[in-house]
Amino acid sequence: MTAPTTVAYLGPAGTFTEAALIRFQDQGAFGDGEVEQLPVNSPREALDAVRGGRAQFACVAIENSVDGAVTSTFDALVEAGGVQIYHELEIEIAFSIMLRPGTELSDVRTFTTHPVAHQQVRQWLAQHLPDAQFVPASSNAAAAQAVAEGRADAAAAPDRAAVLFGLDVVAKEVADMAGARTRFVVVGPRGVPTPRTGTDQTTVVFTLPNEPGTLVAALTEFSLRGVDMSRIESRPTRKVFGTYHFYVDLVGHIDDIPLAEALRALWLRAEDITYLGSWPTPGRDGREDALEADQARLQRATDWVRAARDGKDLP
C-alpha cells in the first residue's frame, strides 16, 4: 500500500488553512493518494516539518487582501531555504462569533482570535463587545478551542470550528471589509516547478549591495524585458541594520524566456537570491498571447545569433 501524503498546516482542525488544505486536496495538488493532515502551531512549524521530512507538503497563508503579505510566512520561507511553492488558491474570509452554550454576549469579558483576524472584526467588536479584552491566539481554531475549554469567553473563527468544539454561533459572516480574501500556497521541498500554464506567477527574494541606484538597476532588468511585477516588498534581513530582503512577485513562469533572462541578469546584480517557485495563478488575467509572441521573437533572435556564430545564412 502507498503511504499517505502528509501535509502540515496551521491547526487545530477548523482553521481557514485547513479549509484551504481540503480544497487543494480536492484539486489534486497533493497527488491522487490519501492525505494525512499534520496540524502545527505556526506557518514556520509547517515549513520546518517539510524541511525535516515529517511532511511532504505544507499549506500556509501567504497574503491577505486587508493586511497584505503574511510576513511570518515569507520570513520562514527564506530564512532556512530548501522549500518551494507549487500551487495557490484564494479563500474568501468571513468569521463567525462563537460562545460556550449558555453564554450571552453580555457575559463576555475576554475575546480571542488570531491577530490577523482581530484586524478584520474590529468594527463588529466596537459595536457589540467594546469592553472585551483581546487575547491573541495562535490560530482561529485555537481561539475556538480556548473558548470551549473556558480560557476565553468568545472567539472569531470559521463556522466549522464551532461545530468541532461544540460552541454556539451568535453572529455569522462578520468581516469589516466585505469580500476580504486570503491567498494560500502549497509548499514542498525544492524541485522542478509546476508546469507553465500561461497564467503563472514567479516569486524571488534577493538582497543587493548597499549602494546608490542598485534597486533601480535591478528592477530595470524586468522592465527592459517587459516582465510585469505584481508586488514588491522589503523586509529587514535581521543580520545588519539597514539591509533588506526584497520580495518580488513576477507575472510569468521561469520557462518564459524574458523572465528567465531577467532572473539571470538579477543574479549577476544581487548579493543573494532565492527562487521561491513558479506556479499557476487561477482566476487572474494572464498575458499568454503576449508571452507567446515575445518567446517566438526571442527564439528568432537566438536563431539569428546561432547562425552568425556558425557562419550560416542569417535568417
pLDDT attached to residue 313:
78
Q: Could you tell me which of 200, 204, 227 has the C-alpha nearest to residue 282?
A: 200
For the segment 163-169, the average pLDDT, to the nearest whole number, is 96
Residue 168 — pLDDT band, cuts 50, 70, 90? very high
- Which stretch of 42-46, 54-58, 210-214 has the lowest confidence by average pLDDT? 210-214
Top-confidence residue, 277 or 291: 277
Has residue 170 got a pLDDT over 90?
yes
Q: What percent of the chain has pLDDT over 70?
A: 96
- Give the pairing of strands 35-40 and 5-10: parallel
User: What was the pLDDT predicted at 194?
Assistant: 96
Q: Show the domains of the chain with their CATH numbers.
A: 1-93+181-191 (3.40.190.10), 95-174 (3.40.190.10), 192-315 (3.30.70.260)
- Please check whether residue 36 is in contact with residue 8, taking contact to mean a CB–CB distance below 8 angstroms: no
Cα separation, 96 vs 145, in Å, equals 14
In angstroms, the CA 12 to CA 120 distance is 21
Instruction: Give the per-residue pLDDT at 293.
Output: 60
pLDDT exceeds cutoff 90 at 153: yes
**pLDDT band at residue 134 using 50, 70 and 90 as cut-offs:** very high
What's the pLDDT at 1?
62
For the stretch 190-223, pLDDT in tens is 999 999 998 999 999 999 998 889 999 999 999 9
Model pLDDT for residues 281-293, shown as the tens digit of each residue: 976 655 555 566 6
Taking the CB of residue 297, how many other CB atoms lie within 10 A of it?
12
pLDDT tens per residue, range 63-115: 988 778 888 898 899 887 899 999 999 999 889 999 999 999 999 999 999 99
Task: Give the whole-number percent of the chain exceeding pLDDT 90.
Answer: 72
- State the pTM of this model: 0.85
Question: Over 90: is that where the pLDDT of 135 sits?
Answer: yes
